[in-house]
Amino acid sequence: MNIFITGVTGYIGSHTSVELLNSGYNIIGLDNFSNSKREVLDKIKEITGKDIKFYEGDMLDSNILDKIFTENNIDMVIDFAAFKAVGDSVQRPIDYYINNVSSVLTLLKTMKKYNVKNLIFSSSATVYGTPEYCPITEEFPIGNTTNPYGTSKLYVEGILKDLYTSDNSWNICIFRYFNPVGAHESGIIGEDPNGIPANLMPFITKVATGELPILSVFGNDYDTSDGTGIRDYIHIVDLAKAHINGIKKLASSNGGLFIYNLGTGKGYSVLEMVNAFQKVNNVKVNYKIVGRREGDIAECYADSSKANKELGWKTSKTLEDMCKDAYNYAIKNKDNFKNK
């Protein structure tokens, strides 16, 4: 089966590519390297021994999409290409809406033109806004997003629903990811954010390697067990594997709109993450408590039983695996990070 993956060299795209190649799928990939590097392609080959048929270009460019759909017999599309930094999206809303919404319209138009109607779309737990309680099921109301990034995902979900209503032969799977962390156990690919990381795990990792001096813990006065924010961290390889289940689900369906949360169902606080990281890796992570970060919520974790039941997918990696693999990747690639 030929799977077209946009954003193929990014964090989730690269790990998903490894799992798909190892399971025998052919991959045609697109990326413009706005948040990744070409060398990721070599790293994917190093792990799997297999090549991706790669196109460098922008998903906003219908010409490159035409070329890809003309030159390849595409069965299914997985769309990862997007900007994803919450704070940045507040500063650059137009760029985010163009890159995260307009590009999807370009993709959908092209898919329609070539009669390819199987799509897996990367959405986010942010579409739930501030959840009234946890765990969050797919039936929770979505909306009231607090930043343009989250709103861009909400809009695309709305577009996909309208598309499916207009034509029930579309076969669409929306995955709402919770907090992917960690790296491939080889340490060859992982999360490689540009500049100072905004997310917790890459920040902890850089403090542990000595690249950053101290972690700021954003608030210890939330209504949680230790006062710090709780999230559903999921190992990137568990998340990547879910896409195989998604492909199988779509392959066995003649049309449908399927929505799944992807998380572990267990929440950990910031301090639990710091402590686990220190213990597993036997390394010190300096931290200080500071005020809350604007827009943060107290807790957010998934009820992923729908994906467990309907897709036959479940996570197998532990919090210890997440911490160990994140640090292993950081140590192995420390010089790369320093060049940034």
Q: Any idea which residues carry the catalytic annotation?
A: 149
Which of these segments, 32-40, 42-50, 217-225, 278-286, binds ligand NAD (CB under 6 A)?
32-40
Q: Is 49 left (phi over 0), alpha (psi -120 to 50) or beta?
A: left
* Contact positions vs ligand UFG (CB under 6 A): 84, 86, 124-126, 178-179, 198-200, 203, 215-218, 229, 231, 270, 293, 296, 300
For ligand UFG, the closer CB: 125 or 160? 125
Q: Does 9 bind ligand NAD (CB under 6 A)?
A: yes
Assess 60 for contact with ligand NAD (CB under 6 A). yes
Residue 280 lies near ligand NAD (rule: CB under 6 A): no
Spell 295-322 as b/e; 16+ CB within 10 A means b.
Answer: eebbbbbbbbebbeeebebbbebebebb
CB of 231 to ligand UFG, least distance (A): 5
Choose between 217 and 280: whose C-beta lies nearer to ligand UFG.
Answer: 217
We find the least distance from the C-beta atom of residue 284 to ligand NAD, in angstroms, to be: 26
Residue nearer to ligand NAD on the CB measure, 120 or 274: 120
Given 124, 151, 171, 333, the residue binding ligand NAD (CB under 6 A): 124
Residue 138 touching ligand NAD (CB under 6 A): no
Q: Residue 296, Cα to own-chain centre: how many angstroms?
A: 19
Nearest to 125 by CA among 325, 313, 297, 310: 297
- DSSP codes of every residue in 99-123: IIIIHHHHHHHHHHHTT--EEEEEE
Name the residue with tokens 């950990």: 268
Q: What are phi and psi of 153, to 5 degrees?
A: -70, -40
Bridging pattern class, strands 171-177 and 256-262: parallel
Report the interface residues with ligand NAD, using CB under 6 A: 6-7, 9-13, 30-36, 58-60, 80-82, 84, 99, 103, 122, 124, 177, 179-180
